[in-house]
Structure 1
């Protein structure tokens, strides 16, 4: 098959573009005499792959189905397979969520002035100060925890003392009541 002059020019143009691409990919590396152009390397790799697949029916069947798999993994395949009524039903089901998302986006847009404010932009410069405040807070929290533990111990001691005093008063009242009853019986006997 003989190529026309225009076809030869197109092939030469493609070859020059590939050579330019190789130069961009390989950068400023010095081309040695052992250098194999990328296209030749790709052609030989393709030939090796095809040779290695000869006689392996399961692999060749898989390779033939790769295009089908690519079509099924395409995220737009669902859109092409669904009819218009199914798409409409899906949109109607998602309508409340879409309205919620729109209102959330409007709220975010209304708050964007806050996000663009100088105070928010200065946050990275305030990290040192925040770290110092955090350490100060942790120190104060430890002190507060120690004081709280001390107060809890004192409250426990106070409760113990009050309980003992209450028991003593109950015992004294019981003793006084017994004494009064004994005195009252003597008076009645006399």
Structure 2
């Protein structure tokens, strides 16, 4: 029988409880230090066994649950950040892993989902709205207010120009063929309904 201080791996690892326990043990948040024996080249020169705790990169992090944005499967992820959330302090992402409590992926991630940290910390990531004016050869930063006003104006102009109330048979269709609307895997049914109402109003 193994000492209780050793990391425990529950055989029924397909259960959510086992996944949580296994992840906590790996993170060093529930496991105690276990004795490590360092032996010499002979039994006569054995060193003393000493207890030590391995330093884990997620031991002091804040866990934030989110959804992977890459496809419509909506796998749950846990984002580990360092930072005390003080004013003028930006939290840094140090690790991203699958959420073992998510019923869809149960802690697993595909190769694309496993690269979320690189997507978040990419120095070339676009962090603010940009616009390329007609005839311009470069993109310029604009404010969020200007971006929202510009998007609303373009949608309204396109809707008014292409809106079709009835088809050739006189049936009410209320559609705007000049606009394509793309949803996301994190959209709720209520939000999708509002999108449809907005595009067909």
Q: Same fold by TM (over 0.5)? A: no
Richer in helix (by share): 1
TM-score range, shorter chain: under 0.3
Q: More relative contact order in 1 or in 2 (CA 8 Å, sep 6+)?
A: 2
TM-score by length of 2: 0.23
Richer in strand (by share): 2
Larger radius of gyration: 1
